[in-house]
């Protein structure tokens, strides 16, 4: 279980997270929604220790990771996989080297088994026979899928998705959504996604949390969010240009 307790983070004068409280249960898929620049990715980076909070705690299985040193953080990250917004594949490496990097560097298995895992993971995301291709030759959707294969290569307990469907056509976006659901069902992964794509959020989530002005203002099942009384939530999920979010300039 992941608990985020009263998390605060500022960059210079700009307060991004202002007391976030959130719990992510084991095995569930929780999606954090909110406007661009609201701090969703910043929150995600706190969960995996890429950013340290100004105050507050991120507790994973009863351990406060905000106090972790470098070596404890390495052990923690072995339990995570992350899909980045732009896939963040290493340009200089082939697909095979990208997906197998963690396995090879951590000497988890011998080379033959690593190759089998790479083929298997690429198969799980619907790609095969592209092991020797460089990322520059792949389409946006294929890059995301390779990024997803890399994220699950080490069989993580937790997978973080940063805008998994942004920049994809609706059909490819749905394919990614299906993959996320499939991975959750087959590998029992705890997933945390951040997105402003409501179609994706409704489809993949067990619960949805809305981040607004640095705080979580509502958490609930997709149905509860859809029927929310909050005008802020309603404006966002229905994509209305006029409403409390855009009227409030503070």
Partner 1 sequence: MTIFAKLTGKGIRFISQLGELSILIWRMIKSIPLIVKNPHLTSEQMMLMGVNSLPLVIFTSVFTGAVSAVQAAYQFQNFVPMRYLGTAVGKAVIIELGPVLTALVVAGRVGASIAAELGTMKVTEQIDALETMALDPVRYLVVPRFMAGIIMLPVLTIIADLVAILGGLVVAVNFLNLSSYTFLNGVRLFFDLQDLFAGLIKSVSFGGIIAIIGCFQGFRTTGGAEGVGFSTTRAVVLSSILILLTDYAIATIIFG
Task: Measure the CA–CA gap between 175 and 168, rounded to whole angstroms.
Answer: 10
Q: Does 42 bind partner 1 (CB under 8 A)?
A: no
Task: Measure the CA–CA gap between 93 and 101, rounded to whole angstroms.
Answer: 9
Strands 55-60 and 63-64: antiparallel
Q: Both tokens of residue 129?
A: 């026979």
Stretch that binds partner 1, among 1-9, 70-78, 201-209, 214-222 (CB under 8 A): 70-78
Stretch that binds partner 1, among 14-22, 99-107, 193-201, 234-242 (CB under 8 A): 99-107
Rule CB under 8 A: choose which of 5, 88, 181, 187 binds partner 1. Answer: 88
Q: Does 106 bind partner 1 (CB under 8 A)?
A: yes
Give helix 170-187 / helix 140-152 axis angle, nearest 10°.
10
Contact 80, 158 (CB under 8 A): yes
Stretch that binds partner 1, among 21-29, 97-105, 168-176, 239-247 (CB under 8 A): 97-105
DSSP letters of 141-197?
A: HHHHHHHHHHHHTT--SEEEEESTTTTS-HHHHHHHHHHHHHHHHHH--EEEEEES-
Contact 6, 162 (CB under 8 A): no
Q: Does 48 bind partner 1 (CB under 8 A)?
A: yes
Task: Rank residues 5 and 93 by Cβ distance to partner 1 and give the closer one.
Answer: 93
Residues from 192 through 231 that contact partner 1 (CB under 8 A):
none
Q: Does 52 bind partner 1 (CB under 8 A)?
A: no
Q: Does 100 bind partner 1 (CB under 8 A)?
A: no
Residues from 137 through 176 that contact partner 1 (CB under 8 A):
150, 154, 160
Rule CB under 8 A: choose which of 84, 161, 212, 236 binds partner 1. Answer: 84
Task: Rank residues 73 and 232 by Cβ distance to partner 1 and give the closer one.
Answer: 73
Q: Both tokens of residue 190?
A: 């705890």
Q: Is 67 exposed, middle or buried (0-12, 13-18, 19+ CB in 10 A)?
A: exposed
Contact footprint for partner 1 (CB under 8 A): 45, 48, 50, 70, 73-75, 77-78, 80-82, 84-86, 88-91, 101-102, 105-106, 150, 154, 160
């Amino acid at each position: 279980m992941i608990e985020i307790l009263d998390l605060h983070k500022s960059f210079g004068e700009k307060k991004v997270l202002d007391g976030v409280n959130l719990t992510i249960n084991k095995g569930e898929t929780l999606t954090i929604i909110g406007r661009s620049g609201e701090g969703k990715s910043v929150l995600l980076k706190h969960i995996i220790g890429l950013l340290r909070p100004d105050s507050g705690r991120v507790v994973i299985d009863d351990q406060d990771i905000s106090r972790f040193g470098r070596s404890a953080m390495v052990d923690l990250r072995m339990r995570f996989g992350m899909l980045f917004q732009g896939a963040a594949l290493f340009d200089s490496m082939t697909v095979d080297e990208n997906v197998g990097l963690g396995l090879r560097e951590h000497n988890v298995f011998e080379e033959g088994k690593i190759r089998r895992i790479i083929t298997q993971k690429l198969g799980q995301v619907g790609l095969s026979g592209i092991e020797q291709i460089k990322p520059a030759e792949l389409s946006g959707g294929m890059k995301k899928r390779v990024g997803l294969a890399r994220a699950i290569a080490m069989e993580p307990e937790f997978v973080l998705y940063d805008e998994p469907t942004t920049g994809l056509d609706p059909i490819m976006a749905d394919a990614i959504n299906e993959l996320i659901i499939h991975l959750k069902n087959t590998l029992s992964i705890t997933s945390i996604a951040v997105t402003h794509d409501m179609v994706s959020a409704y489809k993949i989530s067990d619960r949805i949390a809305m981040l607004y002005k640095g705080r979580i203002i509502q958490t609930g099942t997709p149905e509860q969010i859809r029927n929310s009384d909050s005008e802020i939530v309603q404006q966002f999920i229905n994509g209305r240009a006029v409403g409390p979010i855009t009227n409030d300039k503070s």
